[in-house]
Amino acid sequence: MNGCGLCAVFLFLSGAYGAGALLGDSPASVSLSLAGNGTGAGSALSIGTEPPGTRRTRRRRYISQNDMITILDYHNKVRGNVFPPASNMEYMVWDESLAKSAEAWASACLWEHGPQYLLRFLGQNLSVRTGRYRSILQLVKPWYDEVKDYAFPYPRDCNPRCPLKCYGPMCTHYTQMVWATSNRVGCAIHTCHNMNVWGSVWKRATYLVCNYSPKGNWIGEAPYKVGVPCSACPPSYGGSCSNNMCFPAVSTNYLHWFK
């Protein structure tokens, strides 16, 4: 595909692979959403030491504070307003380790999911766009828009496994966004030059990678439990509820990153 100054093309990927049976892919797009108990590379940040006299330089961040807050708030808005209502929807927080792993993959400028060794633990949604855009939500909102093609599997439909009722090309971006136990997300944005997207070379592409943990999209399972909001929260939340979501006892979920 030839680049053009004012035109804009948008594509997105989401997926489901990993240990156990996960939702499959559409032939038209690759989809990866994976589950696990950690972020693969570890949930704690490693802090290095510098020799005395070393001059420190401020590293450019792989996602702006505004974009990070916008992505996180949008996910929680979607999660808190699912229909039918969720009884066990967990509030999503920003995870620095997931963001760093997303940065590493985004910088590779490969239009596919990876790296493989992390996909056993993580869910992943991808978006790529060429041309101008005004808001990062232009790359994120199409994941949510799949809701129009998705029919939630009520308990009566799960005998014993829940069917995937998707009446469009793909629904796994949306289901990863609203997977109740996927309570951590980290994303990165990278500008890629001469990026190969399904056989076409995009001269300048904006590439968004979002990693989720624990992974979702398990075949045979519904994204969440239906019921009165916060009526089935894990005990670790101590009964705390906010905007229809099980809310963690934390003072902030992202601002510490920018101090």
C-alpha to C-alpha distance for 82 and 147, rounded to whole angstroms:
10
Q: Which CATH number does the domain housing residue 198 bear?
A: 3.40.33.10
Residue 259 has pLDDT above 50, yes or no: no
pLDDT at residue number 249? 72
Place of tokens 């005004």: 134
10-24, 96-110, 132-146, 167-181 — which is least confidently predicted? 10-24
Counted residue by residue, the chain has a size of 259
Domain coverage including residue 139? 65-246
Whether residue 78 lies inside any domain: the answer is yes
Buried b (16+ CB within 10 A) or exposed e, 102-121: bbbbbeebebebeeeebbeb
- Residue 18: both structure tokens together: 């990993």
Whether residue 71 lies inside any domain: the answer is yes
Percent of the chain with pLDDT over 90: 64
**The model scores a pTM over 0.85:** no
71-75, 105-109, 234-238, 251-255 — which is least confidently predicted? 251-255
Give the model confidence (pLDDT) of 42-57 as tens digits.
Answer: 322 222 223 344 343 3
Whether residue 14 lies inside any domain: the answer is no
pLDDT at residue number 130? 86
- The DSSP code for 206 is E
pLDDT band for 257, please (50, 70, 90 cuts).
Answer: very low
Give the model confidence (pLDDT) of 223-252 as tens digits.
Answer: 999 999 999 999 999 889 999 999 987 654
Give the model confidence (pLDDT) of 131-164 as tens digits.
Answer: 777 899 999 999 999 999 999 999 999 989 999 9
Whether residue 16 lies inside any domain: the answer is no
Tell me the helices (H) and strands (E) count for the chain, helix number first.
4, 9
β pairing state of 184-197 and 200-213: antiparallel
Residue 194 has pLDDT above 70, yes or no: yes
Mean pLDDT of the chain: 79
Whether residue 49 lies inside any domain: the answer is no
Whether residue 152 lies inside any domain: the answer is yes
Whether residue 11 lies inside any domain: the answer is no
C-alpha to C-alpha distance for 237 and 126, rounded to whole angstroms:
30
Could you give the C-alpha distances from 29 to 48, 57, 64, 189, 213, in angstroms and in order?
Answer: 40, 40, 28, 20, 22
- The DSSP code for 181 is T
Average pLDDT, stretch 57-67? 70
Whether residue 31 lies inside any domain: the answer is no
pLDDT at residue number 14? 56
Secondary structure of 53-118 in the HEC alphabet? CCCCCCCCCCCCHHHHHHHHHHHHHHHHCCCCCECCCECCEECHHHHHHHHHHHCCCCCCCCCCCC
Domain total of the chain: 1
C-alpha to C-alpha distance for 46 and 50, rounded to whole angstroms:
13
